[in-house]
Amino acid sequence: MNQKEFNAFMDVVENTYPKQAKINNVQRGMFWLSLQKYSLDDCMSALLLHCETDDGEWKPQICHLTKFLRKSEESVRAMFNDFFKRKKVEDKKAVEIYNRLGGLEMHKLPEYQTRKLEDKFVQLYLEEGSRETFAALPNKLKTKLIGNKS
């Protein structure tokens, strides 16, 4: 999602819950960090799903939306399984993490250990994506988000 789409999405969130407190700039920054890697359509779908839950009467927090955006997690799991199906994986970050976890040696492990490594792979992949997103931010914005005013 680009900045213009994000702003439009946040306007929809605010207008859906007009009587509740506005999202402040720090919260907005955290929404941006968490949601920018998703498409506007996926975020709108997550918002609609949130509205249909028991928590839907309240303005969503980031975690309320990201739980509906887990399909990206499913695609990372599918990528991990592609390694075991001997399919070519083009994603350099995925290949690096796969090799870090043991590469071809993982194929010799029992299934229960492989499942644990799959969870670890997904965690590392998503964490790395978040780190890359944060690292790409301008330093001025980073310091605002983490509370330094110097």
Residue of 9, 80, 84, 75 lying closest to 39 (CA atoms): 9
Q: What is the mean pLDDT of the chain?
A: 84
pLDDT for the residue numbered 106: 93
Return the pLDDT at 150: 46
For residue 19, the SS3 value is coil
The domains of the chain are located at 3-68, 71-135
User: CA-CA distance, 50 to 22, in Å (whole number)?
Assistant: 18
pLDDT for residue 137 is more than 80: no
pLDDT in tens, 71-115: 567 888 999 999 999 999 998 989 999 999 999 999 999 999 999
CB atoms within 10 A of CB 34: 17
CA distances from 8 to 12, 23, 59, 106 (A): 6, 14, 16, 44
Backbone angles phi, psi at 39, to 5 degrees: -80, 160
Long-range contact set of residues 21-26: C-beta below 8 Å, sequence gap at least 24: 21/59, 23/59, 25/144, 26/144, 26/145
d(CA 74, CA 98): 16
* pTM exceeds 0.85 for this model: no
At residue 49 the predicted structure's pLDDT band, cuts being 50, 70 and 90, is confident
